Homo-oligomer: A and B are copies of this chain.
């Protein structure tokens, strides 16, 4: 009873449909137990083992596939995925039911196809195809499946601390990834950290008639002046003393990788309708290597139409500061506090909300280099773009810190996949190509043992 590759991919596309049908929205606490049970059964049905850890909500699944014969040299690859998804809203913008996998125009549409249920299924499918061809698993293959990625991976660090030995690996593959707008497969070796803080100015116990602005300081102007003291006008440079000294400069290889990147400033300008000059000429370099300070929100006083002559007693700004190695988020919040005090704004309350450290690699670890070489073989020369860090944030740092393994990210999405958006989708051709790539990765890793 032999099974063709096509039949197997068809079977895994059906698994994907079942997986998408589970509306595992962590923010809405939906279908978490059902989804955990589905994955546990799927992994064991495929011949692996699946442990469910429920120390903290939501459960983390440890899946593992171990070959019959392992040696000290057999590598261990860990795939990180999350089984939770973003809420489907706004529902009226979907052209098909969000939790029904729908094939349309060569695409698989549904909440979670790109982020990141499609990737998990592609990985399990490739593993199964490898075993069908070779009779056993290629190496030790582990999965860490968490259920809180869309709500800031609240308990991931606790799980990684407690189960560091269980998830020990030689290389970690990140949850997902995408082809870029130039149809190159992006392989990313890091991400930025983040420090989220609120800055609150409070100058009185109550709002006051604004005629008193002649002698009473309002919270609106106070907040604005404090904020403005933290960043250079017209550039991305932060004016926070002590920050630069903690920043690890990029390596020669990291710089070289970014230098190869092709960025189209006019296309970005057009896509977002930008009206201001860029903050830097080196967009790719800034995206990979620069810390940022963003005023994500401002609120205070009268926010309606027309006029209300009120002197606000309090005003708030929401900031996110993207971090590069080796900035620590709570240390950065302290540096902001110290800088505000040094600038004469010691009265501004800096409220720490959350943070994550950054992880950045030159993608130069030997196992990572093997995988990127396989990518170039599979996708074609010049069809792979290597990035030392994405501009965004994720918990890569935690994996590197607790598992001591290098990380890389790639997946089956494309530039218009729209993760988090209505009509989230992947292209069927990318899904199949991603499976081929993973089979080739497994074949290569099997030779490493």
A interface residue numbers (CB < 8 A to B): 152, 192, 194, 196, 202-206, 208-218, 220-225, 227-229, 231, 233-234, 236, 268, 272-280, 283, 286-287, 290, 292-304, 306-313, 315-318, 320, 322, 344, 347, 353-354, 390-393
Chain B residues near A354 (CB-CB < 8 A): 307
Question: Are B216 and A225 in contact (CB-based, < 8 A)?
Answer: no
> Which chain B residue shows the least CB distance to A263?
B215
Given known A-B contacts A296-B220, A302-B318, A211 and B392 have beta carbons under 8 A apart? yes
Question: Are A391 and B212 in contact (CB-based, < 8 A)?
Answer: yes
Given known A-B contacts A212-B391, A224-B227, A295 and B309 have beta carbons under 8 A apart? no
Question: Are B196 and A307 in contact (CB-based, < 8 A)?
Answer: yes
> Which chain B residue shows the least CB distance to A284?
B215
C-alpha gap A97/B359 in the complex (Å): 66
Question: Are A353 and B307 in contact (CB-based, < 8 A)?
Answer: yes
Q: How far is the CB of A420 from chain B (nearest CB, A)?
A: 10
Q: Is the interface of A mostly helix, strand, loop or mixed?
A: mixed
Chain B residues near A231 (CB-CB < 8 A): 221, 225
Chain B residues near A293 (CB-CB < 8 A): 213, 221
Question: Are B302 and A296 in contact (CB-based, < 8 A)?
Answer: yes
Question: Are B224 and A298 in contact (CB-based, < 8 A)?
Answer: yes
Q: How far is the CB of A39 from chain B (nearest CB, A)?
A: 28
Question: Are A297 and B220 in contact (CB-based, < 8 A)?
Answer: yes
Chain B residues near A283 (CB-CB < 8 A): 214-215
Question: Are B228 and A224 in contact (CB-based, < 8 A)?
Answer: yes
Could you say how many copies of this chain the assembly holds? 2
Given known A-B contacts A225-B231, A227-B224, A295-B221, A213 and B236 have beta carbons under 8 A apart? yes
Q: How far is the CB of A393 from chain B (nearest CB, A)?
A: 7
Question: Are A303 and B299 in contact (CB-based, < 8 A)?
Answer: yes
C-alpha gap A309/B197 in the complex (Å): 11
Chain B residues near A315 (CB-CB < 8 A): 295, 298
Identify which of B286, B294, B313 contacts A309 (C-beta below 8 A). Answer: B294
C-alpha gap A73/B378 in the complex (Å): 105
Chain B residues near A280 (CB-CB < 8 A): 214-215
> Which chain B residue shows the least CB distance to A192?
B211
Chain B residues near A218 (CB-CB < 8 A): 294-296
Given known A-B contacts A272-B206, A297-B308, A298-B300, A278 and B225 have beta carbons under 8 A apart? no
Q: How far is the CB of A296 from chain B (nearest CB, A)?
A: 5
Question: Are B223 and A298 in contact (CB-based, < 8 A)?
Answer: yes
Question: Are B322 and A205 in contact (CB-based, < 8 A)?
Answer: no
C-alpha gap A208/B272 in the complex (Å): 7
C-alpha gap A211/B188 in the complex (Å): 15
Question: Are A297 and B286 in contact (CB-based, < 8 A)?
Answer: no
C-alpha gap A196/B318 in the complex (Å): 26
Chain B residues near A215 (CB-CB < 8 A): 236, 278-280, 283, 286-287
Q: How far is the CB of A68 from chain B (nearest CB, A)?
A: 45
Question: Are A206 and B279 in contact (CB-based, < 8 A)?
Answer: no
